[in-house]
Structure 1
């Protein structure tokens, strides 16, 4: 989410996850391979978070917006992040979907993307 509205939803997502006990490590890690919206930490675990917003659940809502191709792009970008950060602990890929309008509905899908 590179546009201005996307940044607002990423900030909402970050605040929500911080309220759940996660700590922010990086925002909008961008390379020519792709972008990671949020990189968070919970204890020794690094969590890559893809943020998706949809105003309605029509056509599958926000969680249906992550194609296989996009998943592969996110995994490659995460691999590069891990190489650069030299993180040695466990990591996972979550998706945080935001839907509706205030009050927003948050759906935190843990382990949403699994490397094969």
Structure 2
């Protein structure tokens, strides 16, 4: 698969995940927010809480869950990007970090949502 095809598939998965989370009651705020050292896939709101969402995809779980790919290093990058986003937008609010693991193919995706997957310390 070409890099441009992978990027397009990733964008499609993020859009579908945003729609799925919206159906679960969250409100979409932004997508693909780039910051120094990282990128936040989705920023959602759950009531008064701002939710930074990392979306991970694998076609199958043959070699493990997509959730397992969110390493401590990745968590640090997401925390840094979230802090930058909050400072840049002058926000002071309750926040959390969620991870959504997506498996399957575009015609039949499975979503596994981990709320408060890690903390920002």
Other-structure match for 1:81: 85
The answer on whether the counterparts of 2:36 and 2:84 sit within 8 Å (CA) in structure 1 is no
Partner of 1:111: 116
Which residues of structure 1 form unaligned runs of 5+? none
Distance 2:8 2:90 in 1: 31
Paired residue total = 115
Residue deviations 1:34-61 (CA, integer Å, cap 9, x gap) = 1000000111100000001101112322
Q: Could you list the runs of 4 or more consecutive aligned residues of structure 1 that deviate by over 6 angstroms after TM superposition? A: none
For residues 75-115 of structure 1, give each alpha carbon's deviation from its aligned partner in whole angstroms, at most 9, with x where no partner exists.
Answer: 10001011112222210000011101232110010001211
TM-score (normalised: structure 1): 0.93
Unaligned runs of 5+ residues in structure 2 are 1-5
TM-score w.r.t. length of structure 2: 0.89
Matched, 1:59 2:63: yes
Please tell me whether residue 27 in structure 1 is matched to residue 31 in structure 2.
yes
| C-alpha distance in structure 2 between counterparts of 1:87 and 1:40, whole Å | 14
